[in-house]
Amino acid sequence: MSGLLIGCHLSTASGYAQMAADAVSIGATTFAFFTRNPRGGNARALDEKDLAAFLSTCSEHGMGPLVAHAPYTYNLCSAKPETVEFARRAMREDLERMERMPGNLYNFHPGSHVKQGADEGVRLICEGLNEVLVPGQATTVLLETMAGKGTEVGRSFEELARIIDGVGHDELLGVCLDTCHVVDAGYDIVSDLDGVLDEFDRVIGLSRLRALHLNDSKNPLGSHKDRHERIGQGTLGLETFRAVVSNERLRDLPMVLETPQDGLAGWAAEIALLRRLASGEEVE
Ligand code: FE
Ligand code: FE
Ligand code: ZN
């Protein structure tokens, strides 16, 4: 088994302990989960026994840093003050909860500026993060690279860099690179992965890159559509993923699959596939 930290997005519906057991059952060494119902709403209270069992399964199986995901409904740069206020409050609560599982990552979509313009979007996102982040917290907050669908902020490395620049406690911030999203945004990792990483390094700094979302894409470079595909079945193709999992600047990062699958078996197969690619095996 290669040393990749790899897993997929899992459900908390049957509890945290069951989620960790699911991860083990599919050969995962990290995973992602929504911090509350993806449509927003209130988070269920943490069950202490469930949390303890979850933590012990994760440590027993050497799970790498987990990559929790904020619900898609949070929008720190909405034009509606109540939506902004909800996102700030919910993120603060999510991060308080994350303190119970210290040392992990919390990924969120920077937001959609809804016709206010990217400058105002960046300003509001910075204002929100400055309110939400707590100095000394045990969780690193990750900005996700976005496809640039609609008015999404974070469609370029420059926009992400501007957000990081505008946050006081930027030591608490990192970036999660989504392979489908960056291709949708126009970064050609298919023909020039190293060139894109050089650009990331120049604009943001590679030390900020803390996690990857591994998704193939249904659409071509620059399409701004955000439609994920199974690994090897989209426009990125198997060889792109072979390059990603063997790249010395990427291979030690936690990698999370967000591909369309019907159940755990599909992700188990994809995890195994990526481990074979990482170890240089021929894969048809
Ligand atoms: Fe995401
Ligand atoms: Fe993603
Ligand atoms: Zn996506």
Instruction: Report pLDDT for 40.
Output: 66
**Euclidean distance between CA atoms 53 and 48, whole angstroms:** 9
* Mean pLDDT to the nearest integer, 37-45: 76
- Give yes or no: 72 in active site: yes
- CA-nearest of 157, 260, 244, 249 to 210 is 249
Looking at the CA of 70, which ligand is closest? 1
**Euclidean distance between CA atoms 214 and 179, whole angstroms:** 6
The verdict on residue 245 lying in a domain is yes
**How far is the centre of ligand 2, averaged over its atoms, from the C-alpha of 260 (Å)?**
12
pLDDT at 1 over 60: no
**Euclidean distance between CA atoms 35 and 266, whole angstroms:** 23
The verdict on residue 54 lying in a domain is yes
Q: What letter would DSSP give residue 46?
A: P
Q: Residues of the chain with pLDDT > 90: what percent? A: 94
- Give yes or no: 178 in active site: yes
pLDDT at 123 over 70: yes
The CATH number for 180's domain is 3.20.20.150
Marked catalytic residue, from 22, 152, 258, 270: 258
Q: Which two tokens stand for residue 235?
A: 């426009």
Q: Which residues of 239-277 are buried (b: 16+ CB within 10 A; e: fewer)?
A: ebbbbbbebeebbebbbbbbbebeebebbbebbebbbeb
- Quick one: how far is CA 183 from the chain centroid? 15
pLDDT at 30 over 60: yes
Instruction: Report pLDDT for 37.
Output: 80
Place of tokens 């608490």: 172
- Give yes or no: 109 in active site: yes
Domain of 153, in residue numbers: 6-278
- CA-nearest of 40, 41, 46 to 19 is 46
- Give yes or no: 171 in active site: no
The verdict on residue 283 lying in a domain is no
- With a CB cutoff of 8 Å and minimum separation 6, the contacts of 26 are 7, 8, 264, 265, 267, 268, 271
Task: Count the domains in the chain.
Answer: 1
User: Could you report the per-residue pLDDT of 156-168, keeping only the tens digit for each?
Assistant: 999 999 999 999 9
Marked catalytic residue, from 144, 159, 184, 270: 144
User: Could you report the per-residue pLDDT of 75-94, keeping only the tens digit for each?
Assistant: 999 999 999 999 999 999 99
Looking at the CA of 177, which ligand is closest? 2
Instruction: Report pLDDT for 213.
Output: 98
Marked catalytic residue, from 16, 22, 36, 69: 69
Instruction: Report pLDDT for 283.
Output: 86
- CA-nearest of 144, 47, 131 to 92 is 131
Marked catalytic residue, from 72, 194, 202, 239: 72
Compute φ and ψ for 134, nearest 5 degrees.
Answer: -115, 120
Place of tokens 């949390």: 51
Marked catalytic residue, from 36, 97, 162, 181: 181
Is-contact 52 20, C-beta < 8 A?
no
The verdict on residue 284 lying in a domain is no
User: Could you report the per-residue pLDDT of 94-118, keeping only the tens digit for each?
Assistant: 999 999 999 999 999 999 999 999 9
Q: Which stretches within the chain are classed as H helix? A: 16-25, 48-60, 81-98, 118-132, 157-165, 179-184, 189-203, 238-246, 264-278
Looking at the CA of 148, which ligand is closest? 3
For the entire predicted model, the pTM comes to: 0.97
- Give yes or no: 119 in active site: no
**Greater pLDDT, 46 or 278:** 278
User: Could you report the per-residue pLDDT of 234-261, keeping only the tens digit for each?
Assistant: 999 999 999 999 999 999 999 999 999 9
Q: Which two tokens stand for residue 261?
A: 């699958």
The verdict on residue 1 lying in a domain is no
**Euclidean distance between CA atoms 119 and 162, whole angstroms:** 9
Looking at the CA of 213, which ligand is closest? 2
Least confident of 38-42, 43-47, 204-208: 38-42
Compute φ and ψ for 209, nearest 5 degrees.
Answer: -75, 115
pLDDT at 39 over 80: no
The verdict on residue 154 lying in a domain is yes
The verdict on residue 31 lying in a domain is yes
Instruction: Report pLDDT for 44.
Output: 79
pLDDT at 225 over 90: yes
pLDDT at 2 over 80: no
What's the whole-number average pLDDT of the chain? 96
User: Could you report the per-residue pLDDT of 53-80, keeping only the tens digit for each?
Assistant: 999 999 999 999 999 999 999 999 999 9
Looking at the CA of 214, which ligand is closest? 2
Instruction: Provide the 3-class DSSP secondary structure of residue 102.
Output: coil
pLDDT at 23 over 90: yes
Compute φ and ψ for 111, nearest 5 degrees.
Answer: 140, 175
- Read off the amino acid at residue 21: A
**How far is the centre of ligand 3, averaged over its atoms, from the C-alpha of 180 (Å)?**
7
Marked catalytic residue, from 213, 230, 242, 275: 213
Instruction: Provide the 3-class DSSP secondary structure of residue 55.
Output: helix
* Mean pLDDT to the nearest integer, 189-201: 98
**How far is the centre of ligand 2, averaged over its atoms, from the C-alpha of 143 (Å)?**
10
